Amino acid sequence: MDAAIAASPTLARLADQARASQALLQAVQPLLPTALRPAVQAGPLEGAEWCLLVSGNAAAAKIRQQLPDLVAALHRSGRTIDTIRVKVLQPRR
């Protein structure tokens, strides 16, 4: 699989974005309430905009309250994220 990713610039770019998004989540996870951490996943990263995927409206509301602190923490760590979006994942049926 690594060979396929290396052979395709598009796949390589997507893999890099996925790794970068996961690194951002690891950076902010200590700031999230312990009970909410399992409900949050790293989402798409597009330039200076990052998306958090959250399972549930209540968790999303709490995360949205923390967005300014999360962005500030990322800036302090040298990351250039200006906006964090929160998307509620719909349960699969």
pLDDT in the model for residue 47? 87
Strand partners, 51: 85
pLDDT in the model for residue 2? 65
Tens-digit pLDDT profile for the chain (93 aa)? 566 556 677 887 888 888 999 999 999 999 999 999 999 999 999 989 999 999 999 999 999 999 999 999 999 999 889 999 999 998 766
What are the extents of the domains in the chain? 2-88
Task: Name the superfamily (CATH) of residues 2-88.
Answer: DnaA, N-terminal domain (3.30.300.180)
pLDDT in the model for residue 11? 80
What is the model's pTM? 0.84
